[in-house]
Amino acid sequence: MRTELQKIEGEFTQRAATESDNDAKLHALARARFAEGGFGPQWNYHSMVFLKRQVISRILYQDMLYRQILDVPGVICEFGVHWGATMSLLVNLRGMYEPFNHSRRIVGFDTFSGFVDVDAKDGGFSNAGDYSTSQGYEAQLAELLSLHESFSPIPQIQKYELVKGDVSATLPDWLEKNPQAVVSMAIFDMDVFKPTRDALELVLPRLTRGSLLVFDELNCPHFPGETRALDEIVGLGNLRLRRFPHQPYCAWAVWGE
Ligand SMILES: C[S@@+](CC[C@H](N)C(=O)[O-])C[C@H]1O[C@@H](n2cnc3c(N)ncnc32)[C@H](O)[C@@H]1O
Q: Is the CB of 163 under 6 A from ligand 1?
A: no
pLDDT of residue 12: 79
pLDDT of residue 210: 98
**Element holding 13 (H helix, E strand):** strand 11-13
Distance CA 255, CA 234 (A): 11
Cα 140 to Cα 81, 119, 134, 223, distances in angstroms: 13, 31, 10, 29
pLDDT of residue 75: 98
Q: Is the CB of 203 under 6 A from ligand 1?
A: no
User: Among 62, 76, 162, 189, which residue has the most ligand 1 atoms within 8 Å of its CB, making it the best to mutate?
Assistant: 189
Distance CA 192, CA 119 (A): 8
CA of 205 to the centre of ligand 1 (A): 22
Distance of CA 165 to the CA centre of its chain: 16
Q: Residue 114 CA: which ligand 1 atom is closest?
A: 25
pLDDT of residue 3: 63
| Nearest CA among 210, 227, 226 for reference residue 67 | 210
Q: Is the CB of 195 under 6 A from ligand 1?
A: yes
Query: Rounded to a whole number, what is the largest CA-CA distance in the chain?
Result: 55
Torsion (CA) 136, 92, 161, 103 in degrees, nearest 10: 170
Q: Is the CB of 82 under 6 A from ligand 1?
A: yes
Q: Is the CB of 198 under 6 A from ligand 1?
A: no
Q: Which residues in the chain come in under a pLDDT of 70? A: 1-4
φ and ψ at residue 184, rounded to 5 degrees: -85, -25
